[in-house]
Amino acid sequence: MFPETPKIHHVGVVVPDMEASENYMQIFGHSEDYRGYVAPFQCWCIFLKAPPGQPSVELIVPDGGPLARFNKGSGGIHHYAYETPDIAKLQRDLAARDIAMVEPAAVKGAGNFLCNFINPIATRGVIVEFVQLL
């Protein structure tokens, strides 16, 4: 399925609110790179600056929806994301192997990318996202 091991794009961490995101950045010495709202997932996504060539950390701040209850509302590590050159093709390839994705088609992410998640049933509960850079 993958000609080579896919590159990790980012690791997503759910935080309960904006104050918690500021605290996270302060504790670990991070600064914000960019942010965006992803309506289908009802959350703000704050991407932190990463060292060159390294994956970034995405702080996910729910604005209602199921993510607000993630880990009983306290947040925590949510997912890791791989890059793919063609998310629609990847989704078709996975479907041919009876592996579903969460959304019927990729959605616009908080950055300059499309994204979708493998249904965690296929990964024994590990949440894996794929992103296609635009």
- pLDDT (0 to 100) of residue 4: 76
| Residues contacting 134, CB < 8 A, separation 6+ | 112, 113, 114
Could you list the pLDDT tens digit for every one of the 134 residues in the chain? 666 788 999 999 999 999 999 999 999 999 999 999 999 999 999 999 999 999 999 999 999 999 999 999 999 999 999 999 999 999 999 999 999 999 999 999 999 999 999 999 999 999 999 999 99
What letter does residue 97 receive in the DSSP assignment?
A: T
| Start-end of H helices in the chain | 18-28, 87-96
Fold of 8-133: 2,3-Dihydroxybiphenyl 1,2-Dioxygenase; domain 1 (3.10.180)
Rounded Cα distance, 47 and 76, in Å: 15
- pLDDT (0 to 100) of residue 46: 98
What letter does residue 39 receive in the DSSP assignment?
A: G
Q: How far is CA 124 from CA 127, 128, 130, in A?
A: 9, 11, 17
Helix (H, G, I), strand (E, B) or coil at 41: helix
The number of beta carbons lying within 10 Å of the beta carbon of residue 87 is: 21
Query: What strands lie across the sheet with 128-133, from one edge to the other?
Result: 32-38, 43-48, 56-62, 8-14, 76-83, 128-133, 113-117, 107-108
- pLDDT (0 to 100) of residue 119: 96
